[in-house]
Amino acid sequence: MEIGLVHYLSVAAVLFGLGLLTVMTRKNSVGILLGVELILNAAALNFIAFEHFVVGDVGGQIFTVFIIVLAAAEAAIALAIVLSVYRNFRSIMADRMTTLKN
């Protein structure tokens, strides 16, 4: 069996689905962040697969480099925010951060 575009797209789709599930169901803020990383990886895999099988320039790889750069920046900022929240709430569960409610 020859591995083609559809196989890579399916892997990326399942990866995206698992990431989406993680983001939607986790209460722990760091867990939610892990889900975001899964989603970003799935998107990057799609870019590379389309570049290899359809488009054929380096545009997909350029996009993926930027995805990796922005994911690193996002992780650094998000973890700084998580530390700050932990200092104020003594917990990083997303359902406890209800200061703005009511």
Partner 1 sequence: MPPISSLLFVVLAGLALGSAGVVAFSRNIIHSALALLGTFLGVAGMYITLSADFLGATQVLVYVGGTLTLILFAVMLTARIEDMKVSNPTQGLGAGIGLVTVVLLLLGKTAATTAWTLNVQPDNPSTAKLGHAFLTTYLLPFEVGSIVLLAAMIGAVVLARRAVKRDWEKE
Q: Which amino acid is at 49?
A: A
Considering the complex, state which of residue 75 and residue 97 has its C-beta at the smaller distance from partner 1. 75
3 binds partner 1 (CB under 8 A): yes
Asked if 96 interacts with partner 1 (CB under 8 A), we say no
Tell me if 36 sits within 8 A of 89, measured CB to CB: no
As measured in angstroms, the least distance from the Cβ of 99 to partner 1 is 17
DSSP tag of 1 = -
Q: Is 36 one of the binding residues for partner 1 (CB under 8 A)? A: no
Residue 99 CA to residue 55 CA, distance in Å, equals 48
Tell which one of 28, 96, 97, 98 touches partner 1 (CB under 8 A).
28
Binder among 1, 98, 99, 102 for partner 1 (CB under 8 A): 1
- Verify binding: residue 10, partner 1, rule CB under 8 A: yes
Using rule CB under 8 A, residue 66 touches partner 1: yes
Residue type at 47 in one-letter notation: F
SS3 102: coil
- In 3D space, the residue among 34, 33, 58 whose CA is nearest the CA of residue 47 turns out to be 58
Which helix (DSSP H) or strand (DSSP E) does residue 57 occupy?
none
Does residue 17 bind partner 1 (CB under 8 A)?
Answer: yes
Q: Could you say whether residue 43 binds partner 1 (CB under 8 A)?
A: no
